[in-house]
């Protein structure tokens, strides 16, 4: 077993032919955990363009705990390399992972994400006992350290920023130092002629970014683009959005699309319905809405609306794993609208 620091995870875990054939991402910092998972998927896809990424959710493995081992030991289509992602949110899934590790596999990668596991956790112990598995623990970072870094970084760029504005930016990125630096660099371009940034300046920029990110998620889900949807979820999480807010936004949008799709049953064109809709749709959103209507059929929309109700209920019942629940729904919904032809 090797403990890999977050900053070295992507380089250490990206190929079945590498040093490690599996890794466990755990800890209290869900934003960092999800970012590392997405980086691993991106790195794998870049190194293995013909490779296969298999996502196994709690629901998948709860219904068939033996599926994980089957996937690990099966050869990917056309003999390509394979990366298997598992969200281990329950003890049942932990047992499935432990069972698979005890049997072993080759020629594929396993990436397991879990919450803040204790040192006594059987899953964590199983990864620690294996020489070809790795663990990365995603700790929360000190707010004081982030505030000090932000002030110093902006000073280096020649920008004066209010203390309250710095606190606002740090809060918006949810403790992610890498994202904090990226956001501060963007904010520096908004500094006035005197090279200063106020709380109102930062509020305006953050509000615009959040609105754009939420629209990006909605468009990705209802145009059938799962990978883009997952990336949008990660961005919203980094911005400090709550999963309940994300699901509400998707619910409201889905409700409008259901009404529009019902209106199309009479043979009307999607673009005409969007243009004439009341209350009016913002004109810059007309093309996106019409495209979604041409992709999403009424039966599919009704099914997704029902799944949204279930996802909202599950988020309320399981607050400790609410982001994995939201992401699982997003992948499922976007996949249901994906064009196959």
Mean pLDDT of 73-91: 76
Q: Which has more confidence, 178 or 105?
A: 105
Residues 24 and 54 in one domain: yes
Residues 147 and 126 in one domain: no
| 205, part of any domain | no
pLDDT value of residue 341: 44
| Distance separating alpha carbons of residues 32 and 36, to the nearest angstrom | 6
Residues 163-191 pLDDT 10s: 888 888 877 665 566 567 777 887 888 88
Residues 329 and 268 in one domain: yes
Residues 98 and 167 in one domain: no
**Containing structural domain, residue 296:** 218-336
Residues 176 and 235 in one domain: no
Residues 207-261 pLDDT 10s: 555 555 788 889 999 999 888 888 888 878 776 677 877 888 888 899 899 999 9
pLDDT value of residue 39: 84
Q: Which of 116, 137, 158 is the last residue of a domain?
A: 137
Evaluated on CA atoms 223, 52, 47, 126, the torsion sign reads: positive
Percent of the chain whose predicted confidence (pLDDT) is above 70: 87
CATH of the domain at 223: 1.20.272.10
Find tokens 């959710």 and name the residue. Answer: 57
Residues 164 and 127 in one domain: no
Tell me what percent of the chain is helix, strand and coil, each rounded to the nearest 5: 65, 10, 25
| Distance separating alpha carbons of residues 23 and 295, to the nearest angstrom | 37
Evaluated on CA atoms 245, 278, 216, 329, the torsion sign reads: positive
Tally the domains of the chain: 3
Among 19-33, 225-239, 279-293, 307-321, the least confident range:
307-321
Residues 112-154 pLDDT 10s: 998 788 888 999 999 988 888 999 888 766 777 788 878 888 8
Q: How confident is the model at residue 318 (pLDDT cuts 50, 70, 90)?
A: low
Residues 29 and 115 in one domain: yes
**pTM for this structure?**
0.48
Q: Which of 151, 167, 197 is the last residue of a domain?
A: 197
Percent of the chain whose predicted confidence (pLDDT) is above 90: 16
Q: Which has more confidence, 7 or 286?
A: 286
Residues 274 and 237 in one domain: yes
Q: What is the mean pLDDT of the chain?
A: 81
Q: Using CA atoms of 297, 300, 301, 303 in order, give the dihedral in degrees to the nearest 10.
A: 160
Find tokens 């059987």 and name the residue. Answer: 122
Among 10-19, 83-92, 106-115, 210-219, the least confident range:
10-19
């Amino acid at each position: 077993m090797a403990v890999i620091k977050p900053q070295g995870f992507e380089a250490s875990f990206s190929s079945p032919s590498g040093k490690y054939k599996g890794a466990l991402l755990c800890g209290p910092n869900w934003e960092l955990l999800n970012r590392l998972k997405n980086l691993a998927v991106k790195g794998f896809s870049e190194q293995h363009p013909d490779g296969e990424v298999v996502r196994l959710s709690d629901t998948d493995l709860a219904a068939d705990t033996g599926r994980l081992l089957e996937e690990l030991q099966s050869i990917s289509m056309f003999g390509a390399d394979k990366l298997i992602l598992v969200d281990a949110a329950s003890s049942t899934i932990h047992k499935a992972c432990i069972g698979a590790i005890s049997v072993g596999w080759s020629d594929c990668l396993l990436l397991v994400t879990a919450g803040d596991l204790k040192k006594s956790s059987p899953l964590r112990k199983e990864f620690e006992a294996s020489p070809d598995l790795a663990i990365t623990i995603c700790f929360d970072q000190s707010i004081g350290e982030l505030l000090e870094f932000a002030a110093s970084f902006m000073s280096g760029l020649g920008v004066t920023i209010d203390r309250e504005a710095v606190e606002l930016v740090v809060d918006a990125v949810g403790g992610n130092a890498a994202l904090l630096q990226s956001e501060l660099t963007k904010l520096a371009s908004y500094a006035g002629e005197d090279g200063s940034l106020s709380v109102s300046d930062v509020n305006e920029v953050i509000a615009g970014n959040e609105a754009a990110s939420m629209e990006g998620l909605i468009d990705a889900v209802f145009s059938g683009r799962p990978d883009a949807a997952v990336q949008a979820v990660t961005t919203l999480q980094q911005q400090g959005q709550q999963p309940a807010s994300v699901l509400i936004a998707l619910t409201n949008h889905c409700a409008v699309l259901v009404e529009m799709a019902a209106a199309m049953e009479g043979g009307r064109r999607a673009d005409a319905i969007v243009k004439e809709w009341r209350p009016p749709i913002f004109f810059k959103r007309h093309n996106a809405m019409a495209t979604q209507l041409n992709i999403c059929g009424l039966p599919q929309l009704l099914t997704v609306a029902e799944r949204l109700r279930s996802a909202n209920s599950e988020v309320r019942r399981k607050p400790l794993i609410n982001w994995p629940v939201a992401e699982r729904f997003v992948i499922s919904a976007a996949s249901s609208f994906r064009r196959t032809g």
